[in-house]
Amino acid sequence: MARADAAAGGSTLAERLRATRRLTRDLAAPLSDADATIQPFPDASPAKWHLAHTTWFFETFILREQVPGYAPFDDRFAFLFNSYYEAAGPRHERPKRGMVSRPSLDEVRDYRAHVDDALEAAMPSLPPAALELIELGINHEQQHQELFLTDILATFAENPIEPAYGELPEPACWSVEPLTYHSGRAGIVEIGATGDAFAFDSERPRHRAFLAGHAIANRKVTNREWRAFIDDGGYRTPTLWLSEGWYWVQREAITAPLYWHDDGTAFTLGGRREIDGAAPVAHINYFEADAFARWAGARLPTEAEWESFADSADPMLGNQLDIAGAVAPRPGGGMFGDAWEWTQSAFAAYPGFTPAEGAVGEYNGKFMCGQFILKGASCATPRGHSRATYRNFFPPSARWQFTGVRLARDA
């Protein structure tokens, strides 16, 4: 659960809230009403919905609960923009979010301004528990900033004229260091969040884990290396794949990462671009990452191996989101940035895990089934959002996020 800095008197929190809300606003600036309404597939959401849902979070859990006399902007929005919080009431079906042509994008912007003004006025008198919820709301909105970009990428990829969301620099002539392995810690290690800094409930409690001897690659797998996997028949060799993964490959006729085309280009937030061979591969799912690792004579790291290996890395470094605009993986990154990294670990409760009380307790715990952990950060992750203990998670078939792979092997 969030822990607000009482010594800051709420001012630092208020500044972070304003900056987060402003970045979301700026991310939406290039979009038309039509751009912001389309839902490319059921697991993605329209840009307009992200703008409204993150606002609904603050209105529902802070303003309605903690501010006497608060007047909701529109009572109908509680139904339209609830995501999955059963305790917060009924909601519009997720696969039909793209059918919400009204309210308009401008009305949603007015909704955001209404809630922002109310939060600004209320913050000086809010109790500590409400300030903790604002911290949670900031981190929640940062997650949706990343989803905003990946969902817009998926939306524009469906458009036959392949529009660009923004400008991307031309690929540079990068060379990357050879792939090598570094020994990880073996024996008893500690993983998980500790202390008073913000962390999601699923990151706690800190606990001990045993690690056998292992080594982890110095960098992520690149597009050029992925091309070698394709050329060697990786998508045509059933012995490389988990059974469910091979069924997915055959059913969907998969031959390459999402957004790749046969002419050596890929669709990006900057439109159709030549694939940069030196950049980390992205838009692969767990099945693909696992198959590549097997082809390479390696495996995926466990969550504990990855976290122990990265605990001295600076999560503020790397290619992450700083300002609104198009993003893409770049060569030469470290443990954080460019692409989230699949691990072989299922998203499950840590020993002693206790979900937060109330409706926000639904945030993570109820999704601890059928999901795999990803570590690090991507080019679309707001800088400062992630950390070594961060537990991103997606089902094994998901690949519309900036998701890649770093190899590991037994010692």
| Residue 250 and residue 320 share a domain | yes
Alpha-carbon span 48 to 31, nearest angstrom:
10
Crossing angle of helices 128-157 and 11-28, in 10° steps, is 20
| Residue 204 and residue 118 share a domain | no
Residue at 174 is within a domain: no
| Residue 398 and residue 308 share a domain | yes
Residue 384 confidence (pLDDT) above 70: yes
| Residue 385 and residue 241 share a domain | yes
| Residue 24 and residue 122 share a domain | yes
CB atoms within 10 A of CB 109: 18
pLDDT at residue 334 in the model: 94
| Residue 250 and residue 140 share a domain | no
| Residue 104 and residue 11 share a domain | yes
| Residue 124 and residue 216 share a domain | no
| Residue 213 and residue 69 share a domain | no
pLDDT tens-digit readout, 104-145? 999 999 999 999 999 999 999 999 999 999 999 999 999 999
pLDDT at residue 409 in the model: 99
User: How many domains would you assign to the chain?
Assistant: 2
Q: What is the dihedral of CA 365, 371, 375, 376, to 10 degrees?
A: -90
pLDDT tens-digit readout, 148-181? 999 999 999 999 999 999 999 887 767 899 999 9
The order of strands in the sheet holding 340-346 is: 392-394, 372-375, 340-346, 403-404
pLDDT tens-digit readout, 348-358? 999 999 988 77
Q: Which residue has the higher pLDDT, 126 or 86?
A: 126
Residue at 372 is within a domain: yes
pLDDT at residue 52 in the model: 98
Residue at 85 is within a domain: yes
Q: Which residue has the higher pLDDT, 173 or 379?
A: 379
Residue 271: C-alpha distances to residues 149, 163, 188, 266, 350 (Å)? 13, 6, 47, 8, 41
- C-alpha 277: how far from its chain's center? 24
Q: What's the maximum distance between 2 C-alpha atoms anywhere in the chain?
A: 66
Confidence of residue 4 (pLDDT cuts 50, 70, 90): very low
Q: pTM (2 decimals)?
A: 0.95
Residue 24 confidence (pLDDT) above 50: yes
Q: What is the mean pLDDT of the chain?
A: 95
- C-alpha 157: how far from its chain's center? 19
Name residues whose C-beta falls within 8 Å of residue 76's C-beta, 6 or more positions apart in sequence.
Answer: none
| CATH code of the domain in which 374 resides | 3.90.1580.10
| Residue 129 and residue 189 share a domain | no
| Residue 232 and residue 347 share a domain | yes
Scanning the structure block, which residue is given the tokens 């109908």?
76
Residue-number span of the structural domain to which 129 is assigned? 6-157
pLDDT tens-digit readout, 332-378? 889 999 999 999 999 999 999 998 877 788 888 899 999 999 999 99
pLDDT at residue 66 in the model: 94
pLDDT at residue 173 in the model: 66
Residue at 172 is within a domain: no
Residue at 168 is within a domain: no
Residue at 378 is within a domain: yes
Residue at 349 is within a domain: yes
Residue at 170 is within a domain: no
Q: Which residue has the higher pLDDT, 10 or 349?
A: 349
